[in-house]
Structure 1
Amino acid sequence: MDTTLLQNRDYTLIIAKTTLDEANKPPGFAERWNAAQGAIVSLAQACEAHDPDGITLYVSCLDPQESCQFKKYEHVTSDRLTQLIQENIPPHQINLREVLELALEDYFARKTAGTTKLNGEIMIVLLDGEPSDRMAVARAIKTATQKMEVNEELGIGFVQIGEDLLAKGFLTALDDHLQSVGAKFDIVHTKSLDTISPDSLMAFLMDTLFD
């Protein structure tokens, strides 16, 4: 496949990190994001290589002053990524639909204004569990596909942190059945982070557009 389609494109990274009360944490829960930190930075660097003005970053946060569960940062470089993740306290549950709709609405608003890059955008969502609003997430993606003109203008990659079986089932359904519920294009690709090796990052980004 033509990897030039990864160039001249915007990249958005959504960090959907959650936390649990100490009494309810399964073994290894607290360590899984720390263990994944290097791989997440490598993924951000792969995006940054094609988006030299910096990626857009949404990070989950538990902040009553915020109207959304996520903080948005623009023009982020990979060397700032770890700091921005660590300075935000994650919530117990994620409203993934809300942040995904914000990111998608932002893309289509920029497209209407003629300020998107020529090849479109790739969004990468890193999550550690099943979202509480899984059906709403699927509907948001389905609605977004109706606004698209060609399949490769927009891709959404979901990357699972950890081994939550409910999250795995949700992501598999998104990957395999999106068009069967009325989506115009299949724009979702899902992977477990521990299966994305440093030398397969470009393949993962391409699969987000075409798989």
Structure 2
Amino acid sequence: MTLTPEQLAKLTEFDYIAVVDASGSMTTEDVKGRSRWDSVQETLGMFCRDTNKLDSDGIGLVIFNGVDIKAHDGVTPDKLDAAFAGMRPVSSTPLYEALQEALKLAGKSDKKDFIMVFTDGVPDNKDAVKKLIIDTANQQQNDDDLTILFVQVGSDSAATAWLKSLDDDLKAQGAQHDIVDVKTVAEAEAFGSTAELIVAAING
């Protein structure tokens, strides 16, 4: 898939934010013989490099687990290693709090926002996450003012089912806009570039 000039121009309309799960289960080695943690850092590196071509100000980045939630802004590819310094996969998955931090980083400019969430399991607070997404969707005027793409790292079946419910069920539960798309990490990596993945999520 080759992106058209119009599609590439559309991608410059967005600020980009990544949310990375650093819970203990991310040490599981079920992604092509590597740990989920190593895999997600590799995929995030590609995301950061590709989006840097679209927005040289860098991405927002939230790395989270039940011990610590770190939020960074203006993360360019050369600052990525420093942002991950000191973070190791431990404890639980407070996704609700992490998304709150990501939404604080969103809306910092007149641009639309694209949040990519890398996670491997069911969060500590499923209902709160759903309510936060529905409330956020209902505050925006257009479908693409904010898009949240969840990328499932690893093969946890409970996580697959829960993420599918975010993709398929939120409009029936009151969301006025469908702002969620979901991919497995294998599906995400099958795209030729992060730009192509982002276009698919925005149009999805």
- With the length of structure 1 as denominator, give the TM-score of the two structures: 0.82
Mapping 1:62-211, distance limit 5 Å:
63=67, 69-108=68-107, 110=108, 116-118=109-111, 120-196=112-188, 197=190, 199-211=192-204
* Partner in structure 2 of residue 52 of structure 1: 56
State the Cα deviation string for residues 28-79 of structure 1 (Å, max 9, x = none). 497222144322211222222222101111112565xxxxx31011100123
In the superposition, relative to structure 1, how do residues 19 and 86 fare at CA in structure 2: closer, same or farther (>3 Å)?
farther
* Alignment partners' CA distance in 2, 1:94 and 1:176: 22
Deviations along 1:62-106, one digit per CA (max 9) or x if unpaired, are 65xxxxx31011100123324422521333111111121232244
1:62–1:90: 8 Å Cα contact kept in structure 2? no
Would the aligned equivalents of 2:64 and 2:94 in 1 still touch at CA under 8 Å?
Answer: no
Alignment: residue pair count: 195
SS in 1 for 2:87: coil
Give yes or no for contact 1:187–1:210 (8 Å, CA) kept in 2.
Answer: no
Alignment partners' CA distance in 2, 1:43 and 1:155: 15
Residue 5 of structure 1 is matched in structure 2 by 10
SS, match of residue 148 in structure 1:
coil
- Which runs of no fewer than 5 residues in structure 2 stay unpaired? none
Are the aligned partners of 2:37 and 2:89 in contact in 1 as well (CA < 8 Å)?
Answer: no
**How many Å separate the matches in 2 of 1:99 and 1:32?**
19
Code of the aligned partner of 2:61: L
Structure 2 partner of 1:39: 43
1:207 CA drift (Å): 2.5
Name the aligned partner's letter for residue 52 of structure 1: S
Aligned identity (percent) is 25
Q: 1-side partners of 2:61 and 2:95: how far apart? A: 14
More strand by share: 2
- The Cα shift of 1:5 comes to 1.9
Matched-pair contact (CA < 8 Å) for 1:58–1:72: yes
Of residues 159-168 and 191-200 in structure 1, the stretch that sits farther from structure 2 once superposed is: 191-200
- How does the TM-score come out when normalised to structure 2? 0.85
- How much does 1:153 deviate? 1.1
* Backbone CA RMSD of aligned residues: 2.3
Deviates more, 1:123-132 or 1:45-54: 45-54
